[in-house]
């Protein structure tokens, strides 16, 4: 029960709502959860890439965290485009392109192990495409957030 009180107390701060007469939501604070999730997924992806280059098998928990944080971050970005529960709708061509690149990166990431069963080279190409698309989407997301 105390955790619900803490969440209810911090909710206006996390959503960026200002106190007083103005009930507008700060767009930078609304993008914070998606930025945190996508940044964590990128950092875990870099760590997994280093493990792959050293030919060390990662723990399944780290791999699962990378997948869940990546999917959660993409979901948060999609919510920003469609409209957040607070009523804030943030849109732009950069964020739409970033979302498309993230979707392609997710597809490449899920198909890389499937292709690697038949040919190691094809799996590595898809893994490189996954990393490149994810990094490009992350860069576009950062450019979009910096322009708010």
Task: Kindly report, residue by residue over 16-68, the tens digit of the pLDDT.
Answer: 444 443 445 666 677 888 899 999 999 999 999 999 999 999 999 999 999 99
Rounded-to-integer distance, Cα 67 and Cα 72, Å: 8
Domain that holds residue 87: 2-16+27-146
Q: Is residue 22 part of a domain?
A: no
Cα torsion 9, 73, 32, 139 to 10°: value is: 170
Q: Is residue 135 part of a domain?
A: yes
| Statement: residue 2 has pLDDT above 80 | no
Q: Is residue 7 part of a domain?
A: yes
DSSP character at residue 147: T
Long-range interactions of 73-76: CB distance < 8 A, separation 24+:
73/34, 73/37, 73/38, 73/40, 73/41, 73/102, 74/38, 74/99, 74/102, 74/103, 74/106, 76/33, 76/34, 76/37, 76/38
Q: Is residue 51 part of a domain?
A: yes
pTM for the whole thing?
A: 0.78
- Taking alpha carbons only, the member of 45, 26, 73 closest to residue 129 is 45
Rounded-to-integer distance, Cα 66 and Cα 119, Å: 24
Q: What is the pLDDT of residue 31?
A: 83
Q: Is residue 139 part of a domain?
A: yes
| Statement: residue 9 has pLDDT above 70 | no
Q: Is residue 46 part of a domain?
A: yes
- Taking alpha carbons only, the member of 45, 104, 103 closest to residue 75 is 103
Domain count, the chain: 1
Q: Is residue 9 part of a domain?
A: yes
- CA gyration radius, the chain: 18
Q: Is residue 21 part of a domain?
A: no
């Amino acid at each position: 029960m105390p955790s619900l009180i803490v969440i209810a107390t911090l909710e206006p701060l996390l959503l960026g709502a200002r106190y007083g007469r103005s009930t507008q939501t700060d767009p930078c604070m609304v993008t914070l959860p998606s930025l945190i999730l996508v940044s964590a997924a990128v950092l875990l992806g870099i760590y997994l890439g280093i493990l792959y280059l050293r030919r060390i098998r990662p723990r399944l928990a780290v791999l699962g965290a990378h997948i869940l944080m990546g999917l959660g971050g993409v979901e948060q970005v999609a919510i920003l485009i469609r409209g957040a529960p607070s009523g804030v709708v943030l849109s732009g061509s950069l964020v739409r392109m970033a979302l498309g690149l993230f979707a392609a990166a997710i597809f490449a990431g899920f198909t890389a192990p499937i292709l690697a069963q038949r040919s190691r080279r094809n799996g590595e190409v898809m893994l490189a495409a996954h990393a490149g698309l994810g990094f490009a989407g992350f860069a576009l997301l950062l450019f979009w957030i910096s322009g708010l």
